[in-house]
Structures are given as C-alpha cells and as structure tokens.
Structure 1
Amino acid sequence: MATTTSDSRFVSTSREETQIVSASKTLEIDHLVDGQKIGPLVLRIVVLSLLVQCADGFDLAAMSYAAPEIIRAWGIKAQAMGPVFNAGLVGMAVGGPLLGYIGDHYGRRVAILISTLVYGLFTLMMVGAHGLQALLLLRFISGVGLGGLLPNTVALNAEYAPRRFRATLIIIMFMGLAVGGILPSVVATSLLGRYGWQAFFFVGGVGPLLLAVALFALLPESIKFLVAKGRNERATRLASRLRPDLAIDHHTTLVMSTSRQGVNSFSPGLLFADGLGALTLLVWVLFSAALIVNFFVNSWMPTLFRANGLSSDQTAITQAAYYLGGICGGLVISRLIDRWGVLPIMVYFLVGGPVVASIGTQGLSHAALTVAVFFTGATVLGSQLGMNAVTGMIYPTSIRSKGAGWASAIGRFASIGGPTIGAWLIAHKTPMPRLFLVPAIPMVIGGIAAAGLLYLCFRRFRGMRLSETRAAATEVAPHSSPRN
C-alpha cells in the first residue's frame, strides 16, 4: 500500500518529489515528518509544550516555598508536611500511565488538555484548604494531572519533530522545567507578604487554566496518531501545513511504516511484547536512577551546605548552579542523542557518579563547590532530560505515551527513596564525603543499564540512531532476527 521510495527522495524538496506525491497519492508519514524543514507549526507545538512543562517546575518549587508559611500559619510540626510532599509524587506516578493510556487511545491533545485542566483546577482549590487532609487530597489529584503532562508532551513532540532534531526539540521543550522552577521566587518576593501562602496556589492554578484555553485553540493533534487511527482527512490537513512543499490534498493517503495497532489497555503488557521487554526494564531502571539522585541531591544540598558554613547567599548561588548545569547538560546531550542515540546517556551516567561524589570533598572553596554542583546538574539533570527524549523515540507511535507514562511512574515511585535515604543518613550524622558517595551508586548502576540499552537499541534500530522507520521491520516481524 505504501510507496517504496527511499529516505533521500523524501528529504528533498524538489519538483520531482512533488510529482511523486501527486502521482502516487500515497505518502509514508515518517518520510513526510523527517523530510520537513522546521516551520511555524512545529515551533508552535514546542513553545506550547514548554509552557506546559513550566507547571511541573513551578509545582515542585512552589510547595517548598509554601511549606514554611503553612507550618507557621497552622501551627504544625515540619514533619507533618512530609505526606503532603509525597502525595504529589504518588499522584504523578498514577497520572503518568493513566493519562498515557488516554493519550494512546483518545489522542495526545485530549490527554494534555485533561492533564492541564485537572492540575490547574485542583491546585487552585488548595487556596481554600484549611487542613492537612484536604491539602493532601488536593495535592494528590493535582499530581495525577501533572503526571499526565510528561508522556503526552513527549509523544506529541516526538511525532512532529524530524528525526535529525527530535531529541533536541524534546529537550528544549523540557527547559520549561527550569523556567517554572524560577517563577515561585517571583511570587515569594512580590505576592507572599500581601496574600500569604495561598498566592503560590492561586498563581499555580490560574496559570494552567488560562494555558488550557490557549492549548484548546492552538495545539494540534499528533499527525502520526491520526494516521494510526485512520483519520486521514484531519491528518492530510495537518500534513499540508507541515509540508507545503508537497502537493498534498484530500486525495492523498498517508500510511504508517508499520501496521501495528495499540490495544486499548491500561496495562503495561504491550511494553513487554514484540521484543520490547528487556528494553522497557532498562528504561525503568534508568528513569529510577536519575530521579533518585535528582531528588536526593536537590532536596538536601541547601540544608547540608548551610550546616557546613555557607551563607544563605552562597547556598542560593550554588543551588542555582545545579539548574544552570542541567540546562547546559540538557542542550548538549540533545544534539548528541540525535546523532549517537543512547551512547551519550551511558557517558553522562558514568561520568556523573564521580562528579556527584566530588560534592562531598572536604575543604572545597565556595567556587570549587559551585563548579562541582554545576557539573552534577549537567550530568544528573542532563541524563534525566536525555531519558525523556530517548523514551519518546524508542517506542512505536501506538504505545508511545504508554511507554513514557509508565517509565515516569516507575521513576516517580523510586524517587521517593532519594529524600528518604538522605534523611536517614543525615539523622545518623553521616560525614559529607560518605554521604555523597551514596547518590554516586545509582549513577553507576544507570551507566551499566545504559550500556545494556545501547546494545538493545543498536540491534532494534540497526545502528546508533533511533529511527522508527528502521525499527518497523522488527515491529512487524518481532520474532525474526534483525539484519546487521
């Protein structure tokens, strides 16, 4: 049914290519997407997704800012806020696979809209909370909405981005996490004194609700999802905007490189079918390793630095270096993944082990410590951002949101262990050099797991680059051995 034209013929934008499409009236969707020049439609999707990701960054930082004010206002002990923090993580772990399933079944756009509305509405309702139980419940439900954003924005961007820039655009989208993390400090300096802790949740709720209106008006559905579901009319309208250089009209039929269809199930069973089992397990290990280290380091660095003599200003500068390093490390790894696939992930994890351990070195000057924290952010956050991109590239369209959703869920559940282990070590007065050896262990484990993933992806994609087209033969005939 599909044309058998080579990749290079579809990458060109020549008159010959236009004649081919017009004559055949059949166009393979992967060739169409990979051959595009990035235009207004793709840029709009990336920018809207970046704004969506701001919610994740804002949520994590806003609760940290609001907690001391809630403790003071309600006269409760600090440890009483622990379950409230964990409720958000558990909600995100539930929301990832649940809304990932909705994304694969009903569409990425639908799932992103639902996630944004749920997060915004229930965050806004926290303004009226008058007790820990109400706050915990609202925090859990808003976390469910927040958890659905990652798998569906990853899938949507992966299905519009050309292969040569796919990881780059996905990771640029995730820069919204850093932008969102900065915004609560603005709320704290401008609104906290006048409106109290409720200001964080008012801004955190109204913002996503307004964004949902923009998403409804401007965010398109995934073109690959539409083709997979047989909705050719809507898909061809989007295709003509994506590739105005081709003569695409309502007579053109868009086809997938694979005939595989997803099964409408919340279960992760499809992630272990057709030779994906070992790959999925390694993805889960890598997500868990990155998130455990991120939450360990991010939660306890300020407390430990202050306890070891740094002023509040010095601590703030050093903490900022962690996020700056994450942005730089993410941008670098994005280009490396587009060229070398999983290999940069392995390097980041293996280098990250000794880098994280170096934070605990005795006698470091403030400048040296800041440099160590910068490279920790580059490797830890960089590997996390890289795994977000890779997960959006290794699963086929039919289960892409499901794959990203379950990986995020497993990682979020595991991440609860990061702050918990840190608290136990601090309670036992573990010296800094030994304490920061602990997060180095998951980084080394992640490096080993990444080596295994690199091998599996090399076989599945018949090379270093993560191309869904190359994996199509493996997907259609899962029991046959791939050619070398």
Structure 2
Amino acid sequence: MQKDVRAVDVQDFLNRHRFSGFQWTIFAICFLIVLLDGFDTAAIGFIAPSLLKEWGLSKAALAPVLSAALFGLAAGGLTAGPCADRFGRKTVLVAAVALFGAACTWSAFAADLTQLTVLRFVTGLGLGAAMPNAVTLMSEYCPDQRRATLTNAMFCGFPLGAALGGFLAAWMIPQWGWRSVLLLGGAVPVVLAAVMLARLPESVRYMVAKRHPAARIRAALLRISPAAAQAASFSMAEKAAPSVAGSGLRVILSRPFIVGTVMIWLAYFMGLVIFYSLINWMPILFKEAGLDARTATLAASLFPLGGVGAIFLGWLMDRFSANRVIALCFSLSALSIYAIGLSAGSTGLLMAVVFIAGTLMNTAQSSLPALAVAFYPTQGRATGVAWMMGVGRFGGVAGSFLVAELARRQVGFEGIFATIAVAGVLATLALLVKHWGEPQRPESAGSAESSGSAAARSSAGAAH
C-alpha cells in the first residue's frame, strides 16, 4: 500500500527542514524570558548590601527576603508544569511573564522588609512558571540533532541575566538607589508579555498531542517550510514505554522514569544550593574579605557570566552521553568553588577563579533542563521540566539559609566555600546514578491524524 504523502510526522518535519526565521523568533523570545528570569532572580542578592544599610538589618534578617522568591519559584514550577501540559505552553507562559513583571515593579515601592518579602514571593510564582515553559516550548520546535545545543543556548540567558543584574546594579544603585533595579526588572517583562501574546505560537508537538485541528498545526508548520501546505494529517512518533499513560505527573513518576526523575531532582537541587549560596552572599562575603563594595559586586557578577559555556556543553550532549558530560562538569565545579575560598588574598586571582567556577557550575546547571527535555515524553515534558525546577528551587532556599547559618556559626571564608563545594560532588553522583540506572526503553512509533475539523491524535510515548 502506498504511503500517504500528506501524512506528516511533525518531529520528522522539524528534523528535515532548516531552522527557520520563525523558529529563531521563538528562540529569541524564550531567550529573553530566561534572561529576565535570571535578572529578577538575582537582583535581590545585588541589592542586599543596600538593604542592610538603608533598613539597618542584620545579615540573618535578610534570609527570609532572599529565600521568599525561591519558595515562590518552587510553587510556580510545581503548579505551572501540569497546567501547561493541560492548557498549553503559551497560555501559561504569557501569564507567568506578566505576573513576575508586575510583582517586581510593585516590589520597588515596598516600604519595609515584610512587604518586600511578600512581593518577592509573588515574583517567584511568575518566575517559577515562566522558565520551564520557555524551555519546553523552545525544545518542541527543535530538530532532534540540535535540541540540546539550542536549549542550552537559550538557557544561557539565565546566567547572563543574573550577570547583567550585577553590572547594572553596580552602576544604577549609586545613582538612583536599589529600587531602580527592581523597576527595570519589572517593566521589561510587562512589555515582553504583550509581544508574546501577539507573536509567540503554541508548541506544535503539544497541538498534535492534544488533538488540535489540522489547520492550526499546518499553519504553524507553514511558517517553517511551505512543504507543509499539502499535509492533511499529522503524527508524532516517540521512543516509547507504551504502558505509560495518564497525567504528566503520573508519567514522570512511573516505573521507566522514576529513578531518572529523582536523580534529576537531586542534581538540580544541589546545583541551586551552589548558585543561590553564591549569588546571594558573594557580594557580602567578598566585602567582609576586604574588597570595597563596588569591587565585591563586580567580582560576584563574574560568577553567573560564565554560563555561556552551556552552548559548548549542549554540543557535547548532542554527541556523547549527556549524563556523563554534565556529571564531569559538576565535579570540576566542586573543585573550582573550593578554590574560591583559597583565593581571598588576591583580588585578581579571586576574580579569575570566580569566573572559572561560574563557567563550570552554570554550564552544568544550565544543561539540566535540556537533559530533562530529552528524557521525558511530550505528554509529561512540561511537568517533568517544571517539577525538576520546582523541587530544585528548595535547593535555592537551602543555599540561602546555609550561608546564613555558617556565618552564625562563625565559619571562615575558606570553610564556607568548602561546604558549598560538597553540593557539586553530590550532583555529580546523582547524574552517574541516573546514567547507570536508566533502562533502555524500546522504540515505539505511533501515529495520529487530524483532517478538516477533526482533531490530531498522538501516540502515547515516552522520551525522545
């Protein structure tokens, strides 16, 4: 029987055609979302010294406001993933960006620490919902052979946004005060949300999985290539564990995925212990180590700047064992973070080591969403990525309180960084366990059709 040339497998279509201007537009919008996420997440750490001075606070009193957004990030991630798997990536993403933009703008007018803490929590709700859905949406428009590279390149926006926050804070705070940083971090996302409403498409893979009309799927693919014009039906084949079905949460906790799920959660958790320990506290720790306030802020800004290395790691992940590649990067991160504690005597050496540590650690951390995207199937992908980030955010909370507790116990500069480095070792071990315990899942292709007003059906599948 002759194959119907009008039946199109959407992933095969993405694999066969060049990466179009339409896909680059999606990449650019998602990159900006992640960049703003990084800026707004890190902003509180860069304004922390100003808060201590203006409101007469102790370092310990800062812990709630530093961690408030992280609780919001966790809550936003845990709820937004299942919502995106049910209602669509775009709807949740636009709402999330508008929410964190509005809340960050309002934070600039906080009158005391309690108000700022509440508003940082609300900001975190939006941030927690935005990033995993941006990662998921972008990945579902990527060809298989470039998915990790493109996803990691997009995720570089997070450390770049955090670094940009440091550089802008060092320039803006002396002129306009700490509130100006929050105003900027809130106004831009509000504008971006309006642009997204008009320009951002729904995920084509999601539309097939949720049986959207063929005309809508065809319209999206036509913006990639005119070859979609003759398509009458759409299918989606995945490497599958055929017995896995149901809600996104049920999929990611099912037998084929449970070990990998827990290990990804642990690795992401430990990565954020490192990131938030350092991004929130390095300006203060460096100032106490003898650097002036401006130099301390600039030195701390070098840590997230190094995340651009994720592009190269994504290229390696597309060619070699992704678990092992990221595990190696985390192990090197642990060594370099320990070295920060040994470098306080020389400003030049300290800055160099901070940059190296940031390059390694942020490269490893930024690669975990791409690992999760490839691990989970379409019907559970947004939930898998969002829950990894949501559960992992508690690592950020732990990191923020960790340094406060170490300072309370009067642990020295070297001891603080040695303790933080242990988290890198644990992340390495988690990824190796995921690699060793990951079963080989059989490949199963399924098809779905959508013709005229009929809906597109997709096969129940698992990870790519």
TM-score by length of 2: 0.86
Which residue in the other structure is 1:276 paired with? 257
Distance verdict in 2 for CA 1:379–1:211, change over 3 Å: same
| Higher relative contact order (Cα pairs below 8 Å, separated by 6+ residues) | 2
Question: Which residue of 259, 272, 296 maps to 1:315?
Answer: 296
Contact 2:267 / 2:430 at 8 angstroms: preserved in 1? yes
Question: Which residue of 3, 12, 35 maps to 1:54?
Answer: 35
Q: What aligned pairs does 1:37-436 form with structure 2 within 5 A after superposition?
A: 37-70=18-51, 79-181=60-162, 182-183=164-165, 185-186=167-168, 189-190=171-172, 193-194=175-176, 196-231=177-212, 232-244=214-226, 246-249=227-230, 251-257=232-238, 263=246, 268-312=249-293, 314-328=295-309, 330-340=310-320, 341-361=322-342, 365-436=346-417
Distance verdict in 2 for CA 1:448–1:162, change over 3 Å: same
RMSD: 3.0
Distance verdict in 2 for CA 1:66–1:398, change over 3 Å: same
Distance verdict in 2 for CA 1:429–1:126, change over 3 Å: closer
Q: Does 1:438 align with 2:414?
A: no
Contact 2:88 / 2:202 at 8 angstroms: preserved in 1? yes
Contact 2:34 / 2:155 at 8 angstroms: preserved in 1? yes
Contact 1:127 / 1:201 at 8 angstroms: preserved in 2? yes
Contact 1:192 / 1:199 at 8 angstroms: preserved in 2? no
Query: Residue 156 of structure 1: CA displacement?
Result: 0.5
Contact 2:274 / 2:399 at 8 angstroms: preserved in 1? yes
Structure 2 Cα separation of the partners of residues 346 and 430 of structure 1 = 28
Number of residues of Structure 1 aligned to a counterpart in Structure 2 = 446
Structure 2 counterpart of 1:178, one-letter code: P
Structure 2 Cα separation of the partners of residues 455 and 189 of structure 1 = 48
Structure 2 Cα separation of the partners of residues 32 and 448 of structure 1 = 37
Contact 1:26 / 1:255 at 8 angstroms: preserved in 2? no
Query: Residue 299 of structure 1: CA displacement?
Result: 2.9
Structure 1 counterpart of 2:5, one-letter code: S
Q: Which moved more, 1:68-77 or 1:382-391?
A: 68-77
Contact 1:345 / 1:383 at 8 angstroms: preserved in 2? yes
Query: Residue 52 of structure 1: CA displacement?
Result: 0.9
Structure 2 counterpart of 1:338, one-letter code: D
Contact 2:377 / 2:461 at 8 angstroms: preserved in 1? no
Structure 1 counterpart of 2:13, one-letter code: L
Structure 1 Cα separation of the partners of residues 228 and 57 of structure 2 = 66
Which residue in the other structure is 1:8 paired with? none
Structure 2 counterpart of 1:240, one-letter code: L
Distance verdict in 2 for CA 1:247–1:432, change over 3 Å: closer
Contact 2:68 / 2:124 at 8 angstroms: preserved in 1? yes
Distance verdict in 2 for CA 1:294–1:247, change over 3 Å: closer
Query: Residue 339 of structure 1: CA displacement?
Result: 1.3
Structure 1 Cα separation of the partners of residues 305 and 50 of structure 2 = 27
- Provide the secondary structure at the position in 2 that maps to 1:27: strand
Q: Does 1:448 align with 2:429?
A: yes
Contact 2:105 / 2:187 at 8 angstroms: preserved in 1? yes
Structure 1 Cα separation of the partners of residues 126 and 211 of structure 2 = 28
Contact 1:30 / 1:469 at 8 angstroms: preserved in 2? no
Structure 2 Cα separation of the partners of residues 435 and 319 of structure 1 = 15
- Provide the secondary structure at the position in 2 that maps to 1:253: strand
Structure 2 Cα separation of the partners of residues 236 and 299 of structure 1 = 46
Structure 1 counterpart of 2:10, one-letter code: I
Contact 2:63 / 2:404 at 8 angstroms: preserved in 1? no
Structure 2 Cα separation of the partners of residues 197 and 353 of structure 1 = 32
Contact 2:45 / 2:280 at 8 angstroms: preserved in 1? no
Which residue in the other structure is 2:449 paired with? none
Query: Residue 314 of structure 1: CA displacement?
Result: 4.7
Query: Residue 388 of structure 1: CA displacement?
Result: 1.7
Structure 2 Cα separation of the partners of residues 221 and 436 of structure 1 = 43
For structure 2, the residue ranges without an aligned partner over 5 or more in a row are 447-458
Distance verdict in 2 for CA 1:179–1:445, change over 3 Å: closer
Distance verdict in 2 for CA 1:350–1:106, change over 3 Å: same
Query: Residue 294 of structure 1: CA displacement?
Result: 1.4
Contact 1:155 / 1:392 at 8 angstroms: preserved in 2? yes
Which residue in the other structure is 1:36 paired with? 17
Which residue in the other structure is 1:11 paired with? none
Structure 2 Cα separation of the partners of residues 323 and 397 of structure 1 = 31
Structure 1 Cα separation of the partners of residues 267 and 22 of structure 2 = 32
- Provide the secondary structure at the position in 1 that maps to 2:8: strand
Contact 2:84 / 2:92 at 8 angstroms: preserved in 1? yes
Query: Residue 189 of structure 1: CA displacement?
Result: 3.4
Query: Residue 150 of structure 1: CA displacement?
Result: 1.6
Q: What aligned pairs does 1:453-472 form with structure 2 within 5 A after superposition?
A: 453-457=434-438, 459-460=440-441
Distance verdict in 2 for CA 1:313–1:119, change over 3 Å: closer
% identity of equivalent residues:
26
- Provide the secondary structure at the position in 2 that maps to 1:416: helix
Distance verdict in 2 for CA 1:220–1:260, change over 3 Å: farther
- Provide the secondary structure at the position in 2 that maps to 1:129: coil
Query: Residue 162 of structure 1: CA displacement?
Result: 0.9
Contact 1:236 / 1:254 at 8 angstroms: preserved in 2? no
Contact 2:47 / 2:178 at 8 angstroms: preserved in 1? yes
